[in-house]
Amino acid sequence: MTKYITRRIFYMFITFFLIATATFFLMKALPGSPISSASKLSPTQLAVVEAKYGLDQPIPVQYAKYMLNLAQGDLGNSFQFKNASVTDLIIDRLGPSLILGTQGLVLGVTLGILLGMIAALRQNTIWDYGSTFVAIIGISIPSFVFATFLQYWLAVQWELFPVALWKDGWMSSVLPSIALAMGPLATASRFIRTEMIEVLSSDYITLAKSKGANGFEIAFKHAFRNALIPLVTVLGPLAAGLLTGSLVIEQIFAIPGIGEQFVKSIMSNDFSIIMGTTLFFSAFLIVVIFLVDVLYGIIDPRIRLSGGKD
C-alpha cells in the first residue's frame, strides 16, 4: 500500500511538471501578447512594460523563474486585473464554483442513486424504463443546451428564478446547480442500476432471502451498501465532467467563478491567468483521481492496490 501510494505520488508530480512545462511553452508560442492588444504603446513604453513583467528576458530564464515561483505556490501576476496576483484571483473566484460544484454533485448523485435503485428493484417495469430514459437524456443532452433551456423556461418565461448573476443569494445557485447535476445524475443512476442487479443475483442475497429477511432489509442493508462501493470509481470522471460543465454553465448564468474567468482570460490572452487556472484545474483533477484510487482500496478490502496495471 505505502509503496503504491509513493509510486502514485511520484507519477502525480511528473504529470504535473509536464503539464506546467507544456503550458508554459504553449503560452510563449502564442501569437500576440496581452500587452500588444491592450493599448497603443510607443516602443519605449513597451520595453518598460515588458521589463516590468520580465518578458524581455530569454525564455529559458523566464521558464526557470516561473517554475521556481510555482514551487512556492506563486502563480505570477495578472496582466488584465490591475496586476493582481493570480493565486489571489483564483481564491477570490473559488467560492461560487465550489458551491455550485458541490450542490450539483450532491443533488445529482443522490437523485441518481435513488433512480438507479428504483430501476434495479423494479427491473423491466415502467419504473426501470423511466429511469433509464432519464439517464440517457442526462448523458446525451449537452449541459449547455440543457442549461439554456432551463434558463429560458424557468427564468425568462416563468420568472421563478433569477436569469443570471450571483446576487440573489441561494436562489441564483439553483438553476446552475440543476444544470450541473444532470451529468452526475445520469452516471450514478446507470452505475447503481447495473451494480444492484449484479449484487441482487449473488449468493449472499439468496441466503438473506432464505433466512427470511424482508425486502426492505435486503435492498438497503445488503444490496445497496455493496453496490455503493464501486460508485467511488466514477467520482474521478464526474469531477472532470463538473469542471467541463462549470466552464459553460458559469458563462451562461454569469456566475463569477473560476470557469467564467478562465474563458474570459483565453479571449483576452491573459496568459498568466490561463496558466494559473490550467495548473489549478490539472492539480485538482490529478489529486481527485489519486484520492479516488486510494479510497477505493481502503473501503473495499477485496481490491488490492499493487502495480496499478490492468
Partner 1 sequence: MKHDLQKPPASSFERIEIDSSHAERISKPSLSFWQDAWLRIRKNKAAIVSMFILAFIIIMAFVGPMISPHDSETQTITHANLPPKVPGIEKLGIMNGVGTLAGKEVDLYEMKKVDTYYWFGTDGLGRDMFSRVWEGTQISLFIAFVAALIDMVIGVAYGGISGYYGGRVDDIMQRIVEILYGIPTLVIVILMLSFMDPGITAIIIAITITGWIGMSRIVRGQVLKFKNQEFVLASRTLGATDSRIITKHILPNILGIIIINTMFTIPTAIFFEAFLSFIGLGLQPPDASLGTLINDGYKLIKFQPHILLYPSIIISLLMIAFNLLGDGLRDALDPKMKD
Among 51, 84, 91, 156, binds partner 1 (CB under 8 A): 156
With binding defined as CB under 8 A, does residue 12 bind partner 1? Answer: yes
Among 218, 227, 289, 292, binds partner 1 (CB under 8 A): 289
Residue holding cell 463538473?
A: 242
With binding defined as CB under 8 A, does residue 189 bind partner 1? Answer: no
Among 240, 254, 291, 303, binds partner 1 (CB under 8 A): 240
The CB density around residue 213, as the number of other CB atoms within 10 Å, is 15
Among 232, 234, 266, 291, binds partner 1 (CB under 8 A): 266
Among 114, 263, 291, 303, binds partner 1 (CB under 8 A): 263
Handedness of CA 79, 272, 245, 287 (dihedral sign): negative
Phi, psi dihedral angles at 302 (to 5 degrees): -70, -25
| Residue 85, strand partner residues | 77
CA distances from 228 to 67, 185, 188 (A): 41, 14, 10
CA dihedral 107, 112, 117, 118 (to 10 degrees): 90
Closer to partner 1 by CB, 149 or 204: give it: 149
Closer to partner 1 by CB, 41 or 229: give it: 229
Distance of closest approach, residue 238 Cβ to partner 1, in angstroms:
13
Among 190, 199, 200, 227, binds partner 1 (CB under 8 A): 190
| Footprint of partner 1 on 267-286 (CB under 8 A) | 267, 274, 278, 281-282, 285-286
Residue holding cell 434558463?
A: 151
For 77, the 3-state DSSP assignment is: strand
With binding defined as CB under 8 A, does residue 234 bind partner 1? Answer: no
Output 22-28 pairs: Cβ under 8 A, ≥24 positions apart.
Answer: 23/274, 23/275, 23/278, 23/279, 24/63, 24/66, 24/67, 24/275, 25/59, 25/63, 27/271, 27/274, 27/275, 28/59, 28/62
| Footprint of partner 1 on 112-151 (CB under 8 A) | 136-137, 139-142, 144-145, 148-149, 151
- Positions in the binding site for partner 1 (CB under 8 A): 11-12, 14-15, 18-19, 22-23, 26, 29-30, 136-137, 139-142, 144-145, 148-149, 151-152, 156, 190, 194, 240, 243-244, 247-248, 251-252, 263, 266-267, 274, 278, 281-282, 285-286, 289, 308-310
